[in-house]
A and B are shown apart, each in its own frame.
Chain A
């Protein structure tokens, strides 16, 4: 196996681009449905300024394994 994306610095936007639109949607007891994705995207726009600020202050946590 080649090096995975994990060894590169992944931009949040690249991740959300995939995570919110991709992946199999199945009947979990709770599943983030398409409508909710739109909701997230809409609010993301509103949050842009806070992202920039948060990144400057380095308060966005870089999580390891556990959720």
Chain B
């Protein structure tokens, strides 16, 4: 048994120029980009341990992404899930032969298209302000201490609910406007603030598959939407083009 494993990054057309420092395994006009990694660090047991070591995970994730991005700038790619490892060149080739049709179909679908990420953040204090409106101090006169307390509690609850529905409204409006420019979209849960460290209220965390030639339109739309929602302190973050992690056809994503 060799003391190395092959780490697979993505599938490309065999005609695309390969990135530097990466090996290729070819079959049927397709290529898998791979690198050799030490078996002792990447066998199943070691992975369980290492993947839970955040600096290790970050190093591996950034290295994976870095290769995908270089490959993406040279052509269309189908990204493989992190930690897809093979015993040797022969097993990579066998996989490529078995799954070739799915990969070819995915490459065709993704050609000329790009994945872009959009996050919408709102300012919670501006949301509350907008929800409170002008009549924030209705007469508490003659209610007594208990009555005034209950009134205040009710107002706070109503403000919170209204702020929530304002936020959802912005998310839905932005998402549907962006969808008009996209071939497909995936809406993901807002990120955990402790992990992301983002400021404000994340109301949308989505990915869009767009025709490459429509990307300038997408940029314009994003800045227009941000201006539109300025009163709520909207910050709309556009990132990309990403390797198309979120837009892989079902049959190409089947667990073999």
Residues of chain A at the chain B interface (Cβ within 8 Å): 1-2, 4-6, 8, 10-33, 36, 39-40, 43-45, 47-48, 50-51, 54, 59-67
**Contact indicator B85/A29 (Cβ below 8 Å):** yes
Q: In the complex, what distance in Å separates the CA atom of A21 from the CA atom of B59?
A: 18
**Contact indicator A67/B35 (Cβ below 8 Å):** yes
The listed residue (B70, B80, B98, B205) touching A23 by CB distance below 8 A is B80
Q: In the complex, what distance in Å separates the CA atom of A26 from the CA atom of B101?
A: 13
Question: Inside 8 A of A20's CB, which chain B residues have their CB?
Answer: 82
Which residue in chain A gives the minimum CB-CB distance to B78?
Answer: A24
Asked if B194 is an interface residue, CB under 8 A from chain A, the answer is: yes
5 A-B pairs with the lowest CB-CB distances in the bound complex, closest first:
A22-B245, A27-B256, A32-B83, A23-B81, A28-B84
Q: Which of the four size classes fits the interface of chain B? A: 35 or more
**Contact indicator A65/B66 (Cβ below 8 Å):** yes
Residues of chain B at the chain A interface (Cβ within 8 Å): 5, 7-8, 11, 20-22, 35, 37, 42-44, 47-48, 51-52, 54-55, 57-67, 69-70, 72-73, 78-87, 91, 95, 98-99, 103, 106, 114, 117, 188, 191-192, 194-196, 205, 207, 212, 215, 239-243, 245-246, 248, 252-256
Which residue in chain B gives the minimum CB-CB distance to A1?
Answer: B73
- Closest beta carbon of chain A to B236's beta carbon, Å: 15
Question: Inside 8 A of A31's CB, which chain B residues have their CB?
Answer: 81, 83-85
Question: Inside 8 A of B191's CB, which chain A residues have their CB?
Answer: 13, 17
